[in-house]
Structure 1
């Protein structure tokens, strides 16, 4: 497996992930982690429900991780003991629009898998496309449409993406909260919001949710052998659906308003893994 473009210094992405995982073990004293969570825009307040972290440090302490460039992304890493599991939580992510290569986008999940994680939970704040969706509503990602025109995988490594977003994990979430809906998530590269015409296009294609993250990380996690769960928080209705302009602050506010519900969902699901 080649895994994508070379990192700085000529390392392959998997070698870079191994190096970051080794440093993670030094910082946490934990030989392995079981599950990783990547907290997207609006999701950071929800982590309070996970309890007190055993360790927390800036993500820049790990090789290959830049400082966060987006408001609402704390740029720290936490290590938790939840039941008999060790959870690794990234409070923020690298986005493709940050003028970085796709290997940097995938570095977090590759590091998590190199550190032992068998499950990767990807969260994001997104625009809702389906009639009836509400701001503050969590939606399980059932599939995705990758409109970034790129992949974290290079070379003849033909990874099957059928059931990329684990049906088993989605069913587990719906046991915790039977009201959870599912939807197809579309990723544009960003950072600009989509036009109403683009929203009309992806609705015709079958998308229910739209954002600027997640799909590339999900592909990289599948390539690395992890089971993937994706959860979107509808933080706004997509362009052209309300007549109102879009802004990032409403994304963060929706996360604050929904923190208790999101945190409860995450903590209960992690307890069942």
Structure 2
């Protein structure tokens, strides 16, 4: 078996066998340090990635590597506790396979989150940033190769990759909660090295406000399938060259832990009002 559609259906059938036939309304990809939200789902069912046919396995510290399905603020949601990255050695097609499986399960709404480095010098570690657009200069694409018309068009529009209505909802909910919410452009780098100071300067010139190693492939796959996407970054550190200090993953995790309460409040509030 090598056809994407067959793999998607087999994975979706296995997940359905574990979670039942009640529809899941929102998919969520929880980035570094943000996976704790999945622990708050009610009537939760957890499935290890290694048990799902054709799923990769998460190798990054802080990523639990499982799907958790349950109820959150009146919606049935599916959380990825940890995602897959290009730098782990996976192909772009493998990185986005879980998003395609979500679509096969009937999920048309997607929240993508990440830990990111701040490029905009007005940002500070601990800020949350609404992703309004992204930049990807890496040649490889998750949509490279055969196109499956039942998923989406060969040449698809990215004008509204991050849904404007959902973004407006997130801004309104953040305002009501008194949570400062930056908004800006996220630039995708392959990793696993952090960006150099010169690359960060280039990213700023190109119009980037934050940099990171995830999210964009998933947003591409979701856009291909016409899913509605909301993206939120947690600015866990200032990118290389902005502050006179080295970067490390420990700082990323510590900052994520510090802001998880605000992040959780915002996601809960948005989920409650999310039109499905």
Please give the alpha-carbon distance, in whole angstroms, between the structure 1 residues aligned to 2:136 and 2:6: 26
Q: Tell me the residue number matched to 2:163.
A: 166
Q: Which digits, 9 at most, give the CA deviation of each residue in 1:83-126, with x for residues without a partner?
A: 54210000001101111111100111111111111101110000
Q: Classify the secondary structure of the residue corresponding to 1:145.
A: strand
1:53, CA displacement in angstroms? 4.5
* Aligned-partner SS, 2:87: helix
Per-residue Cα deviation, 1:41-80 (whole angstroms, up to 9, x for no partner): 12113444x4434211212221111221101111011111
TM-score (normalizing by structure 1): 0.92
Residue deviations 1:110-145, cap 9 Å, x none? 111111111011100000011221111110000000
In the TM superposition, 1:148-187 aligns within 5 A as 148-154=138-144, 155=146, 157-178=154-175, 179-187=180-188
> Residue in 2 aligned with 1:4?
none
Tell me the equivalent position of 1:225.
Answer: 226
Q: Is the 8 A contact 1:45 1:256 kept in 2?
A: no
User: What SS is found at the alignment partner of 1:54?
Assistant: strand
Check whether the contact 1:75–1:90 (CA below 8 A) recurs between aligned residues.
Answer: yes
Matching residue of 1:249: 250
Q: Is 2:269 the partner of 1:272?
A: no
Q: Who is 1:198 aligned against? A: 199
RMSD: 1.4
**In structure 2, do the counterparts of structure 1 residues 54 and 210 end up closer, same or farther at CA, with 3 Å as the change threshold?**
same
> Do the aligned residues in 1 keep the contact of 2:41 with 2:71 (CA within 8 Å)?
no
Return 149-158 or 72-81, whichever deviates more: 149-158
Given that 2:162 and 2:230 are in contact with CA atoms closer than 8 Å, whether structure 1 keeps it comes out as yes
Aligned equivalents of 1:262, 1:46: Cα separation in 2:
9
Give the distance between the partners of 1:76 and 1:251, measured in 2 at CA.
Answer: 21
Q: Please identify, of 186-195 and 21-30, the stretch whose mean Cα deviation from structure 2 is larger.
A: 21-30
Q: Secondary structure at the match of 1:258?
A: helix
Structure 1, unpaired ranges of 5+: 1-8
- Any conservation in 2 of the 1:45–1:255 contact (CA below 8 Å)? no
Distance 1:99 1:215, change over 3 A: same
Does structure 1 conserve the Cα–Cα contact (< 8 Å) formed by 2:73 and 2:268?
Answer: no
Q: 1:11 aligns with which of 3, 25, 30?
A: 3
Instruction: State the secondary structure of the residue aligned to 1:74.
Output: coil
- Report what 1:3 is aligned to: none
| Deviation >6 Å, runs of 4+ | none
SS at match of 1:204: helix
Could you tell me which runs of 5 or more consecutive residues in structure 2 were left unpaired when the two chains were aligned.
148-153
